């Protein structure tokens, strides 16, 4: 198969296995070894490159980026971030000036993230750089270097245009084509952002004999907003979700800001995060607490269901072979929604527990309650007994204490490397108390503590 993209300003046409990663190809076939391999699983950012498409530039991890995902796009590696005559990019000069590198292994990845942030005019450097790990310099000089370039103009060579390309064989361009193809090839693997599937290849060394990439299917990439709903195509990235929900769902947005890293959010899709059926995915608890609807398609047949019904058991979802997730629809407003992610690190960490609460109180009485947790069972699901203990009761600390005691009837969590069962049980109860505090005007966020 033939994949065409711009590499540091030069058009390349590549014949490659569909699951060959950009990182391997750069280092092994092009001898572009500036892009480093650290973890090879999306965690460290040493392999960061800048990828430009019609929507603009974004930072991505080359280690879990398959070559077909680049068709019709432009890639800039660290070798192409300095100018054609060797002139340093302003962020490179600033890293020198501010002593931003010691061993230097992480530096190309930082440079790619910083140059992309610089191009985008970003000043939220902590978020831009949260997916880049540095073990020896420390972040203060690096962030100072990023700050120092705020007023520097973007060098002309950084403004990539995207090449015109023909369709590529593994990327159906319409939903009809994709749905027909998948129904006829139910054993094939769909690849959306590849933040899960990438690891099947790099860590589990799995062969994927038949694949289809979703990123060229425009219908799956759309976002439609009405007065009442927000409707996401399954292939909308978490960065795009974050931008779309920021105003209406600030607490959900704060959860998504802590989803992986900039590079992971730029790749991972909302549909992939649901379809993979993970018990610790961050979207499902928030979406279930809001009462979101999931849409599926199998050939010509479409159906929809409350998202909570999709998750049947650990590793088992209500999705037939050859059926794809097409859309998710959520309410435009859910003012009582609060989402709490408990993880060992603030950024770039999977939830140990994710609790999402949406309790409606009218005249001091709980009129409805939707509470959903991830990390408490084999699937993300609702706390029906806790909800029942709240509904119809006065919205008081006493009601909360009584309801919190019911979590054991809803969930039997397990112990794993992220948290013990006892910790999970206790934190679930504490989060209900936190929600009550939050909704009754008490300060609960440690981020807002000021000296």
Ligand X SMILES: Cc1cc2nc3c(=O)[nH]c(=O)nc-3n(C[C@H](O)[C@H](O)[C@H](O)COP(=O)(O)OP(=O)(O)OC[C@H]3O[C@@H](n4cnc5c(N)ncnc54)[C@H](O)[C@@H]3O)c2cc1C
Which of 327, 395 has the CB closer to ligand X? 327
Q: What are phi and psi of 301, to 5 degrees?
A: -85, 130
Q: Binding segment for ligand FES among 87-95, 132-140, 291-299, 406-414 (CB under 6 A)?
A: 132-140
CA neighbor of 423 nearest in space, from 323, 305, 343, 315: 343
40: contact with ligand FES by CB under 6 A: yes
Q: At 73, is the secondary structure helix, strand, or coil?
A: coil
Question: Contacting ligand FES (CB under 6 A), which of 14, 22, 44, 267?
Answer: 44
- Residue whose structure tokens are 């994709």: 178
Residue spans of alpha helices (H) in 120-213:
125-128, 139-148, 175-184, 197-202
The conformation of residue 237, written as its DSSP 8-state character, comes to B
CB of 266 to ligand FES, least distance (A): 12
- Give the CA distances from residue 29 to residues 23, 35, 428, in Å, rounded to whole numbers and listed in that order: 10, 13, 50
Q: Which does 276 bind (CB under 5 to 8 A by kind): ligand X, ligand FES, none?
A: ligand X
CA neighbor of 211 nearest in space, from 64, 2, 19: 19
Spatial distance between the Cα atoms of 76 and 59, rounded to a whole number of angstroms: 10
Spatial distance between the Cα atoms of 329 and 313, rounded to a whole number of angstroms: 22
The conformation of residue 87, written as its DSSP 8-state character, comes to P
Note the Cα 243 to chain centre separation in Å: 12
Length of the chain: 451
45: contact with ligand FES by CB under 6 A: yes
38: contact with ligand FES by CB under 6 A: yes
423: contact with ligand FES by CB under 6 A: no
Which of 295, 370 has the CB closer to ligand X? 295
Q: Which does 262 bind (CB under 5 to 8 A by kind): ligand X, ligand FES, none?
A: none
**Which H/E stretch holds residue 53?**
strand 48-53
**Residue 33 · residue 161 · CB < 8 Å:** no
**Pairing assessment for the beta strands 189-191 and 365-374 based on DSSP bridges:** unpaired
308: contact with ligand FES by CB under 6 A: no
- Going 16 to 19 to 20 to 22, the CA torsion angle's sign is positive
Task: Give the residues across from 233 on adjacent strands.
Answer: 327
CB of 348 to ligand X, least distance (A): 6
Which of 129, 175 has the CB closer to ligand FES? 129
Q: At 279, is the secondary structure helix, strand, or coil?
A: coil
39: contact with ligand FES by CB under 6 A: yes
Which of 158, 307 has the CB closer to ligand X? 307
Q: Which does 92 bind (CB under 5 to 8 A by kind): ligand FES, ligand X, none?
A: none
Q: Binding segment for ligand FES among 39-47, 203-211, 271-279, 396-404 (CB under 6 A)?
A: 39-47
47: contact with ligand FES by CB under 6 A: yes
Which of 45, 374 has the CB closer to ligand FES? 45
272: contact with ligand FES by CB under 6 A: no
Which of 40, 399 has the CB closer to ligand FES? 40
Q: Which does 324 bind (CB under 5 to 8 A by kind): ligand FES, ligand X, none?
A: ligand X
Spatial distance between the Cα atoms of 210 and 190, rounded to a whole number of angstroms: 9
Ramachandran quadrant class, 86 (left: phi over 0; alpha: psi -120 to 50; beta: rest): left
**Contact positions vs ligand X (CB under 6 A):** 41-43, 189-197, 214, 234, 259-260, 264, 267-269, 271-273, 275-276, 278, 281-282, 324-325, 350
78: contact with ligand FES by CB under 6 A: no
Using a 10 angstrom Cβ sphere, with 0-12 exposed, 13-18 middle and 19 or more buried, the burial of residue 430 is: middle
Which of 217, 366 has the CB closer to ligand X? 217
Question: Contacting ligand FES (CB under 6 A), which of 7, 19, 22, 43?
Answer: 43
CB of 198 to ligand FES, least distance (A): 9
Angle, CA 198 vertex, CA 328 and CA 286 arms, to 5°: 30
Binding marks (x or -) toward ligand FES, 134..173, rule CB under 6 A?
xxxx------------------------------------
CB of 384 to ligand X, least distance (A): 23
Binding site for ligand FES (CB under 6 A): 37-40, 42-47, 61, 63, 101-106, 134-137
């Amino acid at each position: 198969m033939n994949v065409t993209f711009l590499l540091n300003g030069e058009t390349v046409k590549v014949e490659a296995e569909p699951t060959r990663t950009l990182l391997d190809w750069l280092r092994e076939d092009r001898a572009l070894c500036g892009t480093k391999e650290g973890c090879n699983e999306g965690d460290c950012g040493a392999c960061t490159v800048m990828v430009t498409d019609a929507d603009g530039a974004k930072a991505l991890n080359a280690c879990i980026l398959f070559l077909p995902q680049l068709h019709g796009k432009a890639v800039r590696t660290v070798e192409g971030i300095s100018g054609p005559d060797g002139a340093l990019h302003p962020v490179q000069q600033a890293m020198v000036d501010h002593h931003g590198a010691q061993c230097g292994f992480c530096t190309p990845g930082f440079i790619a993230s910083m140059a992309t942030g610089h191009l985008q005019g970003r000043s939220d450097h902590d978020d831009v750089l949260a997916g880049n790990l540095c073990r020896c310099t420390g972040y203060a000089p690096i962030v100072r270097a990023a700050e120092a370039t705020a007023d520097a103009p973007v060098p002309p060579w950084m403004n990539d245009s995207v090449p015109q390309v023909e369709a590529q064989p593994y990327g159906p361009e319409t939903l009809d084509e994709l749905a027909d193809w998948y129904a006829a090839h139910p054993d094939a693997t769909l690849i959306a952002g590849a933040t899960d599937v990438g690891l099947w290849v790099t860590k589990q060394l799995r062969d994927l004999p038949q694949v289809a990439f979703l990123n060229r299917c425009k219908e799956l990439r759309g976002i439609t907003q009405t007065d009442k709903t927000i409707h996401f195509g399954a292939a909308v990235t978490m960065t795009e979700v974050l931008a779309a929900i920021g105003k209406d769902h600030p607490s959900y947005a704060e959860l998504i800001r802590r989803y992986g890293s900039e590079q992971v959010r730029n790749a991972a899709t909302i549909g992939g995060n649901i379809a993979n059926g993970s018990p610790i995915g961050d979207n499902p608890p928030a979406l279930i607490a809001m009462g979101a609807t999931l849409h599926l398609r199998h050939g010509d047949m479409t159906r929809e269901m409350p998202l909570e019904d999709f998750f049947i058991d650990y590793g088992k979802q209500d999705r037939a072979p050859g059926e794809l997730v097409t859309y998710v629809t959520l309410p435009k407003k859910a003012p009582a929604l609060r989402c709490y992610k408990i993880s060992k690190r603030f950024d770039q960490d999977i939830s140990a527990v994710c609790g999402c609460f949406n309790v409606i109180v009218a005249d001091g009485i709980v009129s409805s309650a939707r509470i959903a947790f991830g990390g408490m069972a084999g699937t993300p699901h609702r706390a029906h007994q806790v909800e029942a203990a709240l509904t119809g009761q006065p919205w008081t600390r006493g009601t909360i204490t009584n309801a919190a005691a019911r979590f054991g009837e809803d969930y039997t969590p397990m112990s794993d490397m992220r948290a013990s069962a006892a910790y999970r049980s206790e934190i679930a109860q504490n989060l209900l108390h936190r929600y009550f505090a939050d909704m009754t005007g008490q300060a609960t966020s440690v981020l807002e503590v000021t000296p």
